[in-house]
A and B are shown apart, each in its own frame.
Chain A
Amino acid sequence: MTSPSDSASSPAREADAPDTLGGGPRRRRVHGGGALRGRRGGVPLPLLLPALIGLVLLVLPLVALLIRAPWRSMPDLLTSPEVWQALRLSLVCATAATAVSLVVGVPLAWLLARVDFPGRGLVRALVTLPLVLPPVVGGVALLMALGRNGVVGQWLDDWFGITLPFTTAGVVLAEAFVAMPFLVISVEGTLRAADPRYEEAAATLGASRFTAFRRVTLPLIAPGVAAGAVLAWARALGEFGATITFAGNFPGRTQTMPLAVYLALQNDPEAAIALSLVLLAVSIAVLAGLRDRWMTAS
């Protein structure tokens, strides 16, 4: 997508700088080989061809979406109250799911990274599972656990009169279930990379473990947390399978954008394309925002 940046080669150049010992300047002069010149001469055909096919495979569908977009009727399609309702619900639910993930996910990531307890590997695997689980399976599992007739759900219903399926809370729960692993894995990786000596230093200065986490660790890993949160938010925004299975489809209450796209495709393909473009635009914005995050995080 982007042009090859020079920033990648700058560390190498710095390493080359004290080059007065060896045989002169080691950097070869590049003869204008065009964009196809790598660091070691031309790009071999057996690599370039599959690479181009892969690129076409990924980019073509999105380009097709733009080509087939009903640009003329877009304003009408996108200003309909149903679309706004679905978009608003999507944004609210994805944000709420991200908030839930942050509140419980960051401590969970800290536990996995900083506390050595028996069965830690198993816990990490279980936390990662929803990441690879088909979302529909997640939805069925949520129904079995928290449905009105579910393992835990029936007690919620009996004691508190709370039923989660078919409610906005159900949507948030389904999205958090699918999106939280992204955040946990991302934050845990950042924590592992962060130097624990800062926390130790804080401890020797009399800070409690929680204070050290709050005042030292959290600011240290903030970029990683932000990147994880954006990833989780994007994943929650696109959630379809678990939502429709666990929370059903009711406009304004549980009908998020992906559900609206799916049902619009059956009645009004043009509306579906318009809705898809909105989600595509949001995704691109997320990606653009995330790129800077990655840069600062790494």
Chain B
Amino acid sequence: MTRSVRRSRRTRRSTRALRAAGAGAAALLVLSACGSSDSGSSAQSGPAGAGELSGEVIVFAAASLKESFTTLGERFEKEHPGTKVTFSFGGSDALAAGITGGAPADVFASASPRTMAVVTEAGDASGTPQTFVRNQLEIATLPGNPDGISSLEDLTDPGLKVVLCDEAVPCGAAAKKALDASELKLTPVSYEEDVKSALNKVVLKEADAAVVYRTDVKAAGEKVEGVEFPESADAINDYPITLLKESKNSGTAKAFIALVRSAEGQKVLTEAGFLKP
């Protein structure tokens, strides 16, 4: 009995200590979650000497850059042994929201100045973003173009299943611009969350056509057929790229941006269907 009394007193005394410990543990948990993104690399933010580049660079890039940036990332790793380029591809808006929300990233390449502005206005960019390529819209149709689509106006046929990107993402904003400029009313079956999922609805033959970028049509190869339309000239997207303020490896990140903007990088990008800035 007495032991239980003693124990209860001890319990009471330790309650206060526990509260403090609990709060401390919670804080620790949060801190360790923030810190766990360190890839253990000796992050050097020193001068970008070619010989001393190392560690990981995390690049947030628009979904439409997937193929070309993956190629450039591999080249970069080959040229600078000891470096690692990690990509996160997605809708530019989701990526921008992630960066302003504190996602760990070194470089941001977006598919429109508007989404880049989200990051610069939040004060997360380091320096001024540079336009490195431009992209034009194209219609992706089923292989062989069975519906005989030859213009943007053909897409307004109610018998066709057309997918567009959501207006929240650059390809959707550009498509809206082109449609508004030509005063066309187009009702799609779906507003997709990024350009690749819009394209894939056509690749899977679930939709008859999608308004996507030239580069996406090119990347899909034989699975879709591209149809150019003149109104796309009214909605050409500039792609800005920037170093991010929170970068833990800015030297290596700068070197990657330099590669993207170099003649070699531009060659890879134009081969993928991008236009020179």
Contacts and interface: CB of A to CB of B under 8 A. Distances in A.
B230 interface: no
Contact of A52 (B7, B22, B91): B22
Interface string A137-156: 00000010001110000000
Interface in A46-103: 48-49, 52-53, 56-57, 60
B112 to A, nearest CB: 12
Interface in A105-143: 143
B202 to A, nearest CB: 11
A207 interface: no
29 contacts: A31-B8, A36-B11, A41-B7, A42-B10, A45-B18, A48-B18, A48-B22, A49-B18, A49-B21, A49-B25, A53-B26, A53-B29, A56-B22, A56-B26, A57-B29, A148-B206, A149-B206, A163-B161, A166-B161, A166-B206, A247-B190, A248-B163, A248-B191, A249-B190, A250-B188, A250-B190, A265-B94, A266-B94, A266-B169
A222 interface: no
Nearest to A153: B206
Given A166-B189, A249-B193, 6 more contacts: A28-B4, A33-B11, A34-B11, A36-B11, A149-B205, A163-B161
A43 interface: yes
Interface string B66-98: 000000000000000000000000010110110
Contacts of B18: 36, 45, 48-49, 52
A34 B29 contact: no
A248 B11 contact: no
A45 B14 contact: yes
A244 B194 CA distance: 11
A57 B29 CA distance: 9
A247 B190 CA distance: 8
Interface of B: 4-5, 7-8, 10-12, 14-15, 18, 21-22, 25-26, 29, 91, 93-94, 96-97, 161, 163, 166, 168-169, 188-193, 201, 204-207
A143 B96 CA distance: 30
> In which size bucket is the chain A interface?
35 or more
Given A34-B12, A165-B206, A56 B29 contact: yes
Contact of B189 (A250, A263, A266): A250
A148 B207 CA distance: 8
Nearest to A51: B22
A294 interface: no
B14 A249 contact: no
Given A147-B206, A249-B166, A41 B4 contact: yes
Nearest to B198: A248
A41 B22 contact: no
Nearest to A149: B205
Given A43-B11, A149-B205, A52 B190 contact: no
Contacts of A48: 18, 22
B275 to A, nearest CB: 25
A250 B93 CA distance: 18
A37 B11 contact: yes
A220 B168 CA distance: 51
Q: Which of A57, A147, A244, A249 has the most C-beta atoms of chain B within 10 angstroms of its own C-beta?
A: A249
B15 A149 contact: no
The 6 closest A-B pairs by CB, nearest first: A248-B190, A266-B93, A42-B11, A166-B189, A149-B205, A52-B22
